[in-house]
Amino acid sequence: EIVMTQSPATLSLSPGERAALSCRASQSVSSYLAWYQQKPGQSPRLLISGASTRATGVPARFSGSGSGTEFTLTISSLQSEDFAVYYCQQYNNWPTTFGQGTKVEIK
């Protein structure tokens, strides 16, 4: 089973700042990597698939990059609604697995 490791566990930033979230796979997952956002009390929402393709309706301030074992989700300028927990998921290998999440909190 591929282990997905996200860092940092918590990111404390102010609105308007840039956020960079890391996701590392224990072996290559090519570009078969998705990112999700989960706000308190809500279900996850797909942000990015294929490592860099934004889902419908996702603002352009969200971008994904990377391939192989190293991936990054970047939020160019944090808005109040972006403070949430973010998860990565690999779907290259069986079974599909998620990272443990990065919480982006207001500093």
Partner 1 sequence: EVQVVESGGGLVQPGGSLRLSCAASGFTVRNNYMSWVRQAPGKGLEWVSVIYTGGGTYYADSVKGRFSISRDNSMNTLDLEMNSLKPEDTAVYYCVKGTAVPGRYWYFDLWGRGTLVTVSS
Tell me which residues touch partner 1 (CB under 8 A).
32, 34, 36, 42-46, 49, 55, 87, 89, 91-101
Closest CB to partner 1 among residues 17, 44: 44
CA distance 28 to 76: 26
| Smallest distance from partner 1 to CB 25, Å | 14
Closest CB to partner 1 among residues 2, 20: 2
Place of tokens 């419908």: 56
| Smallest distance from partner 1 to CB 16, Å | 28
The tokens for 20 are 């960079």
Q: Give the largest CA-CA distance in the chain.
A: 38
| DSSP reduced 3-state for 1 | coil
Closest CB to partner 1 among residues 11, 34: 34
| DSSP reduced 3-state for 5 | strand
